[in-house]
Amino acid sequence: MRQGDNKSAEEPIPHKRRGSIVEALALERKAEQNRELRERLMQLKKERNAIILAHYYQRDEIQEVADFRGDSFLLAQKAAQTDADVIVFCGVHFMGESAKILAPNKTVIIPDERAGCPMADMVNVDGLRKLKAQHPNATVVTYINSSAEIKAETDICCTSANALKVVNSVEGDEVIWVPDKNLGHYVQQNTDKKMIIWEGYCNTHDMLTVKDVEEMKAKYPNAQFVVHPECRPEVVELGDFVGSTTAIIKYCKESDCQEFIVGTEDGTGYQLRLDSPNKSFHFASKYLVCPNMKVNNLKKLVKCLETMQPQIYVPPHVADQARKSLERMLLVK
């Protein structure tokens, strides 16, 4: 036998295979860490008498452990109704504020205080007061994606799920709408009210373009396009169905269609796949990811329950005024 005919058993593992082994071990370790975190979370929830509310745009690992998943409207209702002592709100800051306003005697904590909302920051109290002075007979309708201070200047709040009902419910013919111009435009097309619309927008939804949707429609010709009204008007016009996150999830579940192009934040995919495991979902753009929603993770969720920080605080005089606008919203049927 010539030298070299018998290959050594110690022959190096090919680089590609070695990489896949390392990746598999890392995933296994991550899964084990998550199991440990979930066990710790269950223990802390019991000790604190806590409830976990998670928005549909959260990471899957957050939605998996939530007591309730939902959009802003459903979670606001749950915050107002809960018997828990502690509300852990996995969303962005204004959502935690709304929970604290509706449940002032509860402790409200969030996993990461950096989870803000650029759209909420696009409207300010001074600007809104000036607009109110210019239109003294107008009713102020504010999208729930806003700060407590703005809600305190508001007659009634709304969410994307009930925006049209809220606008049509108010007395008078003139409405000041803040802060989302795209949702405001959608409501304006479906009401007889005169709408004075603030020029704010959701950075994530506003990024979706007609070109993005047309390319996806060409790629998936049998798919229906379902779209959130926070998207640009010209994008919304292309929708086979237009609605809030909850409405989109419900429509996809009940529809006979088996394939969808989705025009909202990609965290919605968790509930869509859960409700309709045999259907196909294609997000209309890889950029439909809210970076603020995604700063929360399982590790931070556990830590905030361990430390009971960061807590949401709303000054009482602001909370008292803001509460009126949220409670009026909850009364609209």
pTM assigned to the model: 0.89
Q: What is the DSSP secondary-structure string of 197-263?
A: E--B--TTGGG--HHHHHHHHHHSTT-EEEE-TTS-HHHHTT-SEE--HHHHHHHHHH-S--EEEEE
Instruction: Please say if the pLDDT value at position 49 is more than 60.
Output: yes
Query: What is the average pLDDT across 264-293?
Result: 97
User: Alpha-carbon distance 199 to 196, whole Å?
Assistant: 10
User: Alpha-carbon distance 41 to 38, whole Å?
Assistant: 5
pLDDT at 26: 75
221 prior amide bond cis, ω within 30: no
pLDDT at 14: 61
pLDDT tens profile 127-157: 999 999 999 999 999 999 999 999 999 999 9
Instruction: Please say if the pLDDT value at position 5 is more than 80.
Output: no
Q: What is the DSSP secondary-structure string of 69-92?
A: EE-HHHHHHHHHH---SEEEEES-
Give the CATH number of domain 205-289; options: 3.90.180.10, 3.30.470.20, 3.40.50.10800, 1.25.40.10.
Answer: 3.40.50.10800
Residue 28's pLDDT band (boundaries 50, 70, 90)? confident
Query: What is the average pLDDT across 290-313?
Result: 97
pLDDT tens profile 14-27: 656 666 777 777 77
Q: What CATH topology corresponds to 120-202?
A: Rossmann fold (3.40.50)
pLDDT at 33: 86
Instruction: Please say if the pLDDT value at position 50 is more than 60.
Output: yes
pLDDT at 19: 65
pLDDT at 31: 80
Strands (E), the chain: 50-55, 68-70, 86-90, 107-109, 139-143, 156-158, 174-178, 194-197, 224-227, 241-242, 259-263, 280-283
Q: What percent of the chain has pLDDT over 70?
A: 94
pLDDT at 22: 74
What are residue 11's phi and psi, to 5 degrees? -60, 135
pLDDT at 77: 86
Residue 10's pLDDT band (boundaries 50, 70, 90)? low
pLDDT tens profile 61-120: 999 999 999 988 789 889 889 999 999 999 999 999 999 999 999 999 999 999 999 999
Spell out the domain ranges in the chain. 15-116+294-307, 120-202, 205-289
Q: Are 177 and 184 in contact (CB under 8 A)?
A: yes
Q: What CATH topology corresponds to 15-116+294-307?
A: Rossmann fold (3.40.50)
pLDDT at 163: 96
pLDDT tens profile 163-183: 999 999 999 999 999 999 999
pLDDT tens profile 181-233: 999 999 999 999 999 999 999 999 999 999 999 999 999 999 999 999 999 99
